[in-house]
A and B are shown apart, each in its own frame.
Chain A
Amino acid sequence: GAGVSQSPSNKVTEKGKDVELRCDPISGHTALYWYRQSLGQGLEFLIYFQGNSAPDKSGLPSDRFSAERTGGSVSTLTIQRTQQEDSAVYLCASSLEGVVSPLHFGNGTRLTVT
């Protein structure tokens, strides 16, 4: 079956613009994660969705970042008023049930803020 799909694969934007990143998880996976991968910095947790429960937003770096998950499926990560330090690869992952099930990662969206 299809894996986790992310779009766009690459996004170049000017500083100050808003961007939306999309994630289509594997069908039936109730858990969905967003991570940020910067060069040499590993993966930074951003936000977690589990079913209909309130998301854990504790990793969002500022109030310019927000995410939603509609109908328990597709998720959108929005960054408002982008800054150069937002440049990174944004990874989405889904799993059947939290971390005890394997996380399936998408190929990411590479965001470059000029």
Chain B
Amino acid sequence: AQSVTQLDSQVPVFEEAPVELRCNYSSSVSVYLFWYVQYPNQGLQLLLKYLSGSTLVKGINGFEAEFNKSQTSFHLRKPSVHISDTAEYFCAVSDGGSNYKLTFGKGTLLTVNP
């Protein structure tokens, strides 16, 4: 069974600083990879996804992530964060052969301070 590890439960940063949220998954077979974001008092929403093709994927609000098959990682990055990026970020993985079962990590709380 798939597992997802988000190495940092909390990441505090200052506004306009760069940020990287780390995500590693367990399986080396074909996978689909996702980042979901949960803003305060809102439901989760899709930030970006990797299904195939280019290993660098871009999402909403200036975020991007890079799929690294050899390191089984899918780290999320943003070069300059805003106060409004404060939220909980969840990495998720699905076996490429399964179009429905998403396994989520425990989440990383990103807090952007002025």
Contact status A107-B103, CB under 8 Å:
no
Contact status A45-B101, CB under 8 Å:
yes
Contact status A3-B43, CB under 8 Å:
yes
Contact status A105-B99, CB under 8 Å:
no
* Tally of B interface residues using CB under 8 Å: 24
Q: How many A-B residue pairs have CB under 8 A?
A: 59
Q: Which residue of B lies closest to A53 (CB)?
A: B100
Q: Nearest Cβ distance between residue A85 and chain B, in whole angstroms?
A: 18
Q: Is B28 an interface residue (CB 8 A)?
A: no
* Tally of A interface residues using CB under 8 Å: 26
Contact status B105-A56, CB under 8 Å:
no
The 7 closest A-B pairs by CB, nearest first: A98-B99, A42-B106, A43-B104, A105-B43, A102-B46, A105-B44, A98-B100
A-B contact pairs, 13 of them (CB 8 A): A33-B102, A42-B105, A42-B106, A42-B107, A45-B102, A97-B99, A99-B34, A99-B100, A100-B99, A102-B45, A102-B49, A105-B43, A107-B42
